[in-house]
Structure 1
Amino acid sequence: MFTAFKQVFDRLSFSRQFMLAIIAVLTVGMLIIGTWIGHLIERNAVNRTAAISAVYLESMSAAQLTDWSRAGTVDSETHEDLDRIFIDGPLHREVLRFKLWDTSGRIVYSNDHAQIGHIFPVQGRLAAAFAGTVQAQISDLKETDNLPELVNWNQLLEIYVPIRSADSKVYAVAEFYLSVDKLKRDILAAQQRSWGLVALSTLAVYLLLYGLVRRANNTINAQQLDLRNQLRQLHSVLNENDRMREQLHEAGVSTTSLNEEFLLRIAADLHDGPAQTIAFALMRFDEFAATCHGCVSSQGEAPHELDSIQNALQSSLRDVRKISSGLAIPGMAEMTLADTARRAVRDFERLSGQTIKAEIDDTLGKAPLAIKITVYRLLQESLTNCRRHAPGGSPQVQVKKIDGQVLLTITDHGAGFDPQAAAVGGRLGLAFMRERVRLLGGVFEIDSAPGRGTSIRARLPLSTDEMIHV
């Protein structure tokens, strides 16, 4: 039951939850305040009636009991006077029962003569009256001394009034009973008015809170609507950014592949163009040199000049072939990523004559061509920089797979440099490496300082799907 109610409550809007909670709190508060005020009204009405009746009856009874405080008994004359007041007089309609108690708990007079002489313990409200305070309450007549009254009535207003001597000492207590019918009607009318006032006050507070909460709820709803609109616009912008980023990565992958194809074309053009032309020139030059080998100028310098031209042509041919071989990476499409990294290290070792300490993860299998090209060029450029700027630095290479990405680390123990100064100075090799990695959505880092070597780290995704989210 409670769980079902909680589920229904949780589905309501915040403003409705608040208003239901306020209704519950105000209702409980109204019941508590109304009940408390009702008890106060009843108590005050009883006390007021008791006070008025006590003053009136005390003045009447005290006049009849002037001599009793000295004698200690009610004589026949006093008895008759009391009968005239409470039995034959007009008070018998208001005072339904009257008793006079002495300090021993004996009823020395009652308008029900059968009760005269009965003794009861002095306790409760009777004891409090002998202590000097007026006592009053609506009684259900359950006490033992009220059994005769219980025969005729269900409830009566029971009042105890202390009677004092001239020296203010309480020597007797007058107990009388009044009808509660009129008093209850007055109390009920006052309680109804108080409940009405409490209900109106509660309703006014509720309406005030309802107005405030409704206005706040309207403001919150308007803000939520505005936020939802802004969120939709933001999602639209983010989706557009994702599309643009995806296009950028696709462009990066395409650019890397196209650049490699461009380099292959340049390599082929160099090999088939200038290299062949220079080779043909050398062949013809050899024929010309053989024909003119015996020719000597007046200064005797012809053979020397011919040797210089031949050496220059051979050097140019070697350079063109070297450049052509460096631009092209034949067979890369069929290689795994690990084989590509090993190929880059072997090519550098063959050209430089150095031995490289390399740790290459064999689990690096197939990868997009753009990734393999970038790994090869990063290793090629980094190792070339190590040989150029740290010839005795003993470079180390580490290529491993971490969380679906390939991590390249190239370290040397050379002189090192300031990366910020190198960036300002325009080192194209570092700039090209950084740009290659960035185009594929990777991360490129340089850790170096003068005197402590250099470490280059690059992290690249292993698939084009991951490139979009890197």
Structure 2
Amino acid sequence: MSLTRQFVLTGGVIMLVAMLAAGLFIGEIASRTTIENTASSTALLMDSFVSPLAHALATEDILPPEEREELNELLSGDHFKQRFPYLEIWKEGGLVAYSTTENLIGRRFTPPDGLIVALGGEISAQYANLDAREHLDRGIDSKYLEIYVPVREHSSGRVIAVAEIHESTQQLEHELWWLRFKTWLAVAGATFIIMFGLFGIVYRGNQLILSQQRQLRGRMVEIEQAAQHNRILKERSQRASGRVAELMENYLRRIGADLHDGPAQLIGFAALSVEHVRRARTDAQREEELHALETVLSDALRDIRTTSKGLMLPEIEDLPLPAVVRQVVSNHELRTGTEVLVHCDDISHPLTHAINICVYRFLQESLNNAFRHAGGNGQRISCKLDDSVLSLVVEDDGGNGPAELASLDSGLGLVGLRDRVESLGGIFRINHRTDGGTRVEMSVVVADEEQND
């Protein structure tokens, strides 16, 4: 499950339990406080007219008849009697010194808990225990709030009696109901506000985590793809390097064979001719042998120069790409008498020497093949540098070139050219168009420092 769902489930349960506990606790405190405040108000009211009439209880066990009649008259009002239907004045030991129920006066009952507290000098309030004997004798079956008020002697302040007032709970229950309702409403509102606030924080955090996870997964996919691509390039580069080494070995063997079969044979023949010159008997014969020796040495020197010309490249290390392209095109046009169209971007920064050599050999081999197989028909070159990727394309429109020009080969051929490009981490492609033309393309990544040197 997502973090949001986990929070809704676990956090919802925790907040619900906390809300119930807080509601019950606060509601109980508020209800108890309301009851105590009601008891205090009632006690203050009753003490104002009970205390002056009960001072005789400091010496008497039962309230005298005169005070009893006066209390009866005070408590006989309908509104007062409706709110406070019963009143007892207790003495220590559970003796009833006065009661609105005449048959309870002078009798002893088990002291209620509130009476014991009030005899200690504190106001006490509790709901009536309808199973108490004094209530059973009167037949009380309604729920009342019993408020116990200490009655003190004016001179000494000691508790001489306790007044028990029975207050109707109808108005109190109505107040308590509204109080509990407001308490639960406040607790529930605060709980939901806290819950929604925390939910918003968790939701935003969860969305951020999900977004980062998606980005990480995307990055992992990109990294895996890049790693796979790098492995492919590495394998391709290793294969290309191996093939280049093999081709170079074959190339060196061919050069060695050309030197052995050409200049070496001629020089060997010239060495034999020196002996003929030495043995010549006449000046004419010696001149003839020297002329033959000169001819052989000239042929050997020509063969050596021809071989060296194929091995050497012009100085292109510090040239920008357009200059390298122009040099290859100029040499090709002079050698073949054909025309090459060039569309090359203005790439002013010099490239590495390895890339320059690769570009030179690529253009040289591709143009030679275009001349050999297409007769130089529609030769064109395009080059561009796009986002550190150098791309070169050589195209022709097809046709048949003269067969005698097949020897215009740079030496490595297309296989060696592909290996040279791939050894630099590049891509080499050959496409034969339906109209008979050919498109040869290479692309290689150029590092930033190579562009900014």
> Structure 1-normalised TM-score?
0.49
Aligned to 2:149: 161
Could you list the per-position Cα deviations for residues 268-310 of structure 1 after superposition, in whole angstroms to 9, with x for gaps in the alignment?
x9xxx9xxxxxxxxxxxxxxxxxxxxxxxxxxxxxxxxxxxxx
Measure, in 1, the Cα distance between the counterparts of 2:235 and 2:195: 57
Q: How many residues align?
A: 281
- State the identity as a percent: 26
1:40–1:111 Cα change, 3 Å: same
| Stretch deviating more after TM superposition (67-76 or 229-238) | 67-76
2:130 to 141, 145, 150: 141
Match status 1:25 vs 2:20: no
1:222–1:88 Cα change, 3 Å: closer
Q: Which runs of 5+ in 1 are unaligned?
A: 1-9, 274-470
Measure, in 2, the Cα distance between the counterparts of 1:212 and 1:23: 15
1:256–1:93 Cα change, 3 Å: same
Could you list the per-position Cα deviations for residues 186-240 of structure 1 after superposition, in whole angstroms to 9, with x for gaps in the alignment?
1111221222222222222223223333333333333222222211111101211
Match status 1:220 vs 2:209: yes
Q: Does structure 2 conserve the Cα–Cα contact (< 8 Å) formed by 1:101 and 1:109?
A: yes
Q: Relative contact order: is structure 1 or structure 2 higher (C-alpha 8 Å, sep ≥ 6)? A: 2
Measure, in 1, the Cα distance between the counterparts of 2:215 and 2:157: 82
Matches within 5 A, 1:442-453: none
Q: Does structure 2 conserve the Cα–Cα contact (< 8 Å) formed by 1:58 and 1:161?
A: yes
Aligned to 2:49: 60
Q: Does structure 2 conserve the Cα–Cα contact (< 8 Å) formed by 1:156 and 1:179?
A: yes
Q: Does structure 1 conserve the Cα–Cα contact (< 8 Å) formed by 2:53 and 2:71?
A: yes
Measure, in 2, the Cα distance between the counterparts of 1:88 and 1:114: 21
How far 1:14 sits from its partner (Å)? 1.3
1:249–1:119 Cα change, 3 Å: farther
Matches within 5 A, 1:310-459: none
Measure, in 2, the Cα distance between the counterparts of 1:232 and 1:142: 80
Q: Does structure 1 conserve the Cα–Cα contact (< 8 Å) formed by 2:4 and 2:199?
A: no
| Stretch deviating more after TM superposition (137-146 or 126-135) | 137-146
Q: Does structure 2 conserve the Cα–Cα contact (< 8 Å) formed by 1:163 and 1:174?
A: yes
Measure, in 1, the Cα distance between the counterparts of 2:78 and 2:228: 102
1:54–1:87 Cα change, 3 Å: same
SS in 1 for 2:62: coil
1:110 to 91, 95, 99: 99
Measure, in 2, the Cα distance between the counterparts of 1:119 and 1:249: 115
Aligned to 1:458: none
1:50–1:260 Cα change, 3 Å: same
Amino acid at match of 1:158: E
SS in 2 for 1:74: coil
Q: CA RMSD in A?
A: 4.4
Match status 1:38 vs 2:20: no
Amino acid at match of 1:68: L
1:211 to 200, 203, 211: 200
Measure, in 2, the Cα distance between the counterparts of 1:152 and 1:105: 19
How far 1:78 sits from its partner (Å)? 2.3
Measure, in 2, the Cα distance between the counterparts of 1:139 and 1:250: 103
Measure, in 2, the Cα distance between the counterparts of 1:143 and 1:57: 23
SS in 2 for 1:152: coil
Matches within 5 A, 1:46-195: 46-87=35-76, 90-122=79-111, 124-148=113-137, 151-166=139-154, 167-195=156-184
Could you list the per-position Cα deviations for residues 383-403 of structure 1 after superposition, in whole angstroms to 9, with x for gaps in the alignment?
xxxxxxxxxxxxxxxxxxxxx
Q: Does structure 1 conserve the Cα–Cα contact (< 8 Å) formed by 2:23 and 2:184?
A: yes
How far 1:165 sits from its partner (Å)? 0.6
Measure, in 2, the Cα distance between the counterparts of 1:115 and 1:154: 19
> Structure 2-normalised TM-score?
0.51
Aligned to 1:379: none
Q: Which runs of 5+ in 2 are unaligned?
A: 262-453
Q: Does structure 2 conserve the Cα–Cα contact (< 8 Å) formed by 1:46 and 1:138?
A: no
Q: Does structure 2 conserve the Cα–Cα contact (< 8 Å) formed by 1:141 and 1:156?
A: no
Aligned to 2:393: none
Amino acid at match of 1:161: V
1:241–1:60 Cα change, 3 Å: same
